[in-house]
A and B are shown apart, each in its own frame.
Chain A
Amino acid sequence: MKISVQINASPYQYQASDSAWHFIQAALLSGHEVFRVFFYHDGIYNALHDARPPADEQQIVKRWSELNAKHNVDLVVCVSSAQRRGLLESSVAKKVNGYEKALADGFRIAGLGLLMEAVIDSDRLVTFGA
């Protein structure tokens, strides 16, 4: 099956990011295709490049980057949710504060159209939130 996931909650504050990641691991292990993970509302905080949790804690942002690198899962951060919360796409970030890298590796910023595409093209879309 082709499965997509939507994440609406911030990491560490809520278990949603962990649950979603474990669900996706299980889906991939079962041979399913994970088409897209769409980060919305406070879910965009899963994509912060500069997250530096202690070594003995879940490396949530890094885990997502690895998921993209290893399995080519498309990680999309909603542009309107991101901008509202101060996470900028690199060209905008560079103009605004001279600092380009706000988004962690493996993520891209795009509009709600990609969420609609995920709904249309996937067999299932599972939402994790709070």
Chain B
Amino acid sequence: MSKKLVFVFKDVLNGTIKAQEFLDIVMMAAAFDLSVSLVFIGDGAYALLKNQNTEQINSKNILPIMQALSIYDINNIFVDETSLQERAILAERIIPQVTPITREKAQFEISSADHVFSF
């Protein structure tokens, strides 16, 4: 049985190459046919806002990559509901590819991993 990898995003990723380099690992994991889940918690929820336009700061926009993850068969993209509520982010402001889940489900998803990548 292939290992379950969970990628946890806790911080904002804008303005640096971090997001790109983290997603590179995600896509490589998918290429190796490993079970992949992404869980966004805390300020990581901000990475999911729609309409990010990075042209004016000349920075790479990772939103198109996030939205295309299903091409790599990565469909388990979750955001902790409580993190959204704490930041007053309504569900319609985040990209539709993400599923809001309860804190308990987020805890279970992370703890049931074989390995957790932390960003």
In-complex A–B contact (CB below 8 Å): yes
Interface residues of A (CB under 8 A from B): 40-41, 80-81, 84, 111-113, 115-116, 119-120, 125, 127, 129
- Would you call A112 and B18 a contact (CB within 8 A)? no
- Would you call B28 and A113 a contact (CB within 8 A)? yes
Could you count the A-B residue pairs with CB atoms below 8 Å apart for me: how many are there? 34
Known contacts A41-B18, A125-B115, A127-B117; decide if A120 and B24 are in contact (CB<8 Å).
Answer: no
- Would you call A116 and B32 a contact (CB within 8 A)? yes
- Would you call B17 and A120 a contact (CB within 8 A)? no
**B107 close to A (CB within 8 Å):** no
Contacts of A119 in B (CB 8 A): 3, 5, 29, 34, 114-115
Contacts of B115 in A (CB 8 A): 119, 125
* Min C-beta distance of A37 to chain B, whole Å: 16
Known contacts A41-B18, A127-B118; decide if A120 and B3 are in contact (CB<8 Å).
Answer: yes
